[in-house]
Structure 1
Amino acid sequence: MGADRSWASAQLIRAAQDGDRESLAAVIHGAHSHVRRFAEHLCASPQDAEDAAQEALIILYRKIGSLRATGALASWMFRIVRNECLRRARVLFERPDEVEAGLATSAEDEAIQRLEAELVAQAIQELPDVQRRVLIMRDVLGYPGWRVAEALGLSTAAMKSHLHRGRARLRLNLSGTSGTAGA
């Protein structure tokens, strides 16, 4: 267990914050597998997970000097990954190509579309891990069922079951938020 945490030792992080390139490289190299593993649980696809992990490592490289407490590195990195995965999911819902094509006719329409996309993204985020990943890969990204099942290590029947339960729970969550506009 001690070797697993050596990438994040306070001494190594402080040296990286002070500009020591070898220490910074060691922190980034050591963090990659941890960040990647976390991203795989949050993002819709393996490609999004890798991209989110890379983005988090780039931010770490650029902004490690602004980290206040060396003990907060892991939570800081995981928050960056979570935000990047959410941002990638939101982009899928906003469909900027339709807005550019003139389908959104007013600022009000665009605001409503953004609000709806945020509600859907939040409702998806609240799904259990496997249901969320299946739903995003199948319904948002449009992957065929067999590919989703294969990527997640599920049987086709299990994937379909998770998809059905995820869709039902998503409908329930969204119907609950639409009726609480005044709350």
Structure 2
Amino acid sequence: MSKNKQQLIELACKGDKQALENLLVICQPDIKRFARRTCSSSEDIDDAVQIALWQLYRKISMLKTVATFSSWLFRIVERECYRLLRIRNSENIDSGFDFDSLKTAYTDIDLKIDLINAILVLPIIYREVLILRDIREYSSLEVADQLGINVEAVKSRFHRARMLIKEKINSRKLSSF
């Protein structure tokens, strides 16, 4: 990593907006190149790059060391590519949960309110795993370490939390008609 890039990362972590903007410009070609190898379609590449840049912008201050910057950033892109692939695959298989009809049934604010409410009513053991995995983007191993449980328990609780939220949103959607 060049000294200039290392300095930009350090400054961006400390909240320097100009350094962060420069870092976003510098990182975009590398992110796009990586996404081309990882994503399944050209549409997904652009989406993954945008999400990665957005996550970089939002969460750079959480980066613990400059040395982990590249792996952290590429892990974001990789996760996003796989997430987009799962969405594509689930569109081809009827999963019983239709996001397209969800868009017509909700306004954005209604959906956000329902999601927040669904998360708030989750039992704490599911809520804390969901927040650490989906919102803070910790790995399963990091969540397990933080909560003092094993990785299998993290995965199980995470899956259960998502299923409970999906059920809550589905029941809310049906009752709004």
Partner of 1:62: 58
Distance in 1, Cα, partners of 2:50 & 2:31: 9
Deviation at 1:8, TM superposition (A): 2.7
Query: Is the CA contact 1:36–1:50 (under 8 Å) kept in the aligned structure 2?
Result: yes
For residues 6 and 37 of structure 1, do their structure 2 counterparts lie closer, same or farther at Cα, with a shift above 3 Å needed? farther
Cα RMSD of the aligned pairs, angstroms, is: 2.0
Partner of 2:14: 18
Query: Is the CA contact 1:48–1:85 (under 8 Å) kept in the aligned structure 2?
Result: yes
- Pairing 1:8–2:5 present: yes
Q: Residues 9-49 of structure 1, C-alpha deviation per residue, up to 9 Å, x if partnerless? A: 1x211111111111000111100000000000111112211
- Pairing 1:99–2:103 present: no
Aligned partner letter, 1:47: E
Partner of 2:26: 30
Once the two structures are aligned, what percentage of the paired residues are identical? 36
Give the secondary-structure state (helix, strand or coil) at the position aligned to 2:30: helix
Deviation at 1:71, TM superposition (A): 1.3
For residues 35 and 22 of structure 1, do their structure 2 counterparts lie closer, same or farther at Cα, with a shift above 3 Å needed? same
With 88-97 and 26-35 compared, the bigger mean Cα shift is at 88-97
Partner of 1:71: 67
Give the secondary-structure state (helix, strand or coil) at the position aligned to 2:96: helix
Aligned partner letter, 1:13: I
Deviation at 1:92, TM superposition (A): 1.5
Query: Is the CA contact 1:7–1:31 (under 8 Å) kept in the aligned structure 2?
Result: no
Larger radius of gyration between Structure 1 and Structure 2:
1
Total equivalences in the alignment: 97
Distance in 2, Cα, partners of 1:38 & 1:6: 22
> Please, which runs of 5 or more residues in structure 2 have no aligned partner?
99-177
Query: Is the CA contact 1:7–1:27 (under 8 Å) kept in the aligned structure 2?
Result: no
